[in-house]
Amino acid sequence: MIMSEEMDNNAVPGSESNIPEEKSEIEKLRDENARWQDKYVRLFAEFDNMRKRHERERQELIRYAHEEVIIEMLGFYEDFERCVEAARQNPGDGVTLLKGVEMTLKRMRELLNKYDVKPIDALGKPFDHNQHEALMTAESADHEEGTLLEVFQRGYFLGDRVVRTAKVKVSRRPGTDVAADDPGREGDGKGAK
């Protein structure tokens, strides 16, 4: 028996003393893991909240982006209301009405200049599909093919960007088929047969 007691004591020397150390190391790792998980969850929640806040701010910015322009446009609206009211009070006085409309138009031009809005210079220029929309063509022996003969609606730049294309009539060679040469129409380029 003595031998078996000695074997039990000698079988794993110091094994009982290592168990509490290993348990405390495992507990430390579990605690550290829990701290990292908590930190991850908090950071993820913070990131998600920031993303949602950013989206709300972006939507609000889009919704109210033209606020400054609208406020300035209200002044023109009120000027036109005053012109109409003056014309109603003095129906025979067209000079006063004209003067009021001219003053309002001048203020509108100043506002457009302030925001770098410029008309597209189109009449007599070559057709450019980036700036012009061809509504029709007309034969012209006096103009080069693709020259803008008439502007139905002016186009505008906002800075360097076209915000509205000019609606135009474009010249074509006499005797050519409209479907083949009309820049505003799609076709195979051969004309109708």
The residue among 180, 172, 132 whose CA lies nearest residue 152 is 132
Kindly list the distances between the CA atom of residue 101 and the CA atoms of 73, 87, 177, in Å, as whole numbers in the listed order.
14, 11, 45
Tokens linked to 192: 């109708």
pLDDT reading at 175 higher than 70: yes
Contact 188/137 with Cβ under 8 angstroms? no
pLDDT category at 68 given cuts 50, 70, 90 is: confident
For residues 107-114, give the mean pLDDT: 89
* pLDDT number for residue 183: 52
The partner residues of 153 in beta bridges, in order of sequence, read 167
State yes or no: pLDDT of 181 exceeds 50: no
Arithmetic mean of pLDDT, 53-61: 92
Task: Quick: pLDDT tens for 141-167.
Answer: 888 889 999 999 999 999 999 999 999
What is the reported pLDDT for 13? 52
| pLDDT tens for each residue of 113-149 | 888 999 999 888 999 999 999 999 988 888 888 999 9
- Tell whether the model's pLDDT for residue 49 goes beyond 90: yes
Residue 31 vs residues 23, 44, 89: alpha-carbon distances, Å: 12, 20, 85
Check if the beta carbon of residue 114 is closer than 8 Å to that of residue 123.
no
Residue 176 has pLDDT above 60, yes or no: yes
Return left, alpha or beta for 14; rule: phi > 0 is left, psi -120 to 50 is alpha, else beta: left
The pTM of the full predicted model, rounded to 2 decimals, is 0.56
Confidence of residue 82 (pLDDT cuts 50, 70, 90): confident
Q: How many helices, marked H, and strands, marked E, lie in the chain?
A: 5, 6
Is the per-residue pLDDT at 50 higher than 90?
yes
